[in-house]
Amino acid sequence: MTDLNGKTALVTGSVQGIGLAIAEALAGAGARIAVHGLAGDSQIDEVCTHLRERGAPQAEFFHGDLRNPNRVDELMEAVAAWGGADILVNNAGIQKTAALRDVTRETWDTILAVNLSAAFHTMQAAMPGMAERGYGRVINIASVHGLVASKDKAPYVAAKHGLVGLSKVAALEYADAGSKAAGGVTVNCICPGWTETAIIEPQVAARAAQRGGDRDAGIADLLAEKQPSRRTSDPSEIGALALWLCSPVAHNVTGVSIPVDGGWTAQ
């Protein structure tokens, strides 16, 4: 079992979906959790209480609008004052599907800001401290669209490909930080395929509408196109992988992008 007692994890977008599942896994291993995301006070309280019940010695919410670099700086300064992130999970992301000719400048700028630029800013702020402590983990949730493309997703695919490239550069620059005993500093991407989260709901709904409102039929139609297993992943499965990447035994796993996609990118 991975022991994260004494470690602090910042997980962006951790009030629901994959981010919450990763926070749950890290909390279960004893990490303090810096919670972040778009939520009202009642949901924030519920999530922080839930994570403490799952094993986190502390779970506190930190504000930060990832569209704005100044707000990202404020987020990272607040987390640094709380003790600093030993584990940084850049999970927050947005998506809007549209043909290339129809993508607005605002859509492009917003998706690139949240899905790519924010990760650059958080990593730049957090990683020097990780190197000083000799242990650090950056886990960027990149999607299969960091490895392959699909139509109608130009900003999202561009951002996720960029996130994979950014992660490789950071992995190389920090590869010799720390030691085997301390755990070292690693940077990796997890690339989920179809996963049961809110971000896929618009696509599921569109396919379901084509199938007379049958949601299961809509999901099956989506998966038949891309994911050979024809099974969705549960967010907890992504959380389990993230937890393993945080273990000392993973000190030499860095600069890689791990698909969790039922064979999608093997085709």
* Torsion, Cα of 180, 181, 182, 184 (10° steps): 0
- 35 by DSSP, 3-state: which? strand
Q: Which of 61, 62, 135, 156 is catalytic?
A: 156
Neighbours of 94 (CB within 10 A): 18
- 10 by DSSP, 3-state: which? strand
Neighbours of 70 (CB within 10 A): 10
Neighbours of 128 (CB within 10 A): 15
Residue 153, strand partner residues: 98
Query: How many C-alpha atoms does 87 have within 13 Å on its Cβ side?
Result: 31
**DSSP state at residue 139:** E
Neighbours of 61 (CB within 10 A): 18
Q: Is position 174 annotated as part of the catalytic site?
A: no
The CA-CA-CA angle for residues 224, 229, 234, to 5°, reads 105
**DSSP state at residue 85:** -
Neighbours of 20 (CB within 10 A): 23
- 262 by DSSP, 3-state: which? coil
In 3D, which of 223, 233, 236, 234 has the Cα closest to residue 264?
Answer: 223
Estimate the share of the chain in helix, then strand, then coil, as percent rounded to the nearest 5.
50, 15, 35
Cite the active site residues: 156
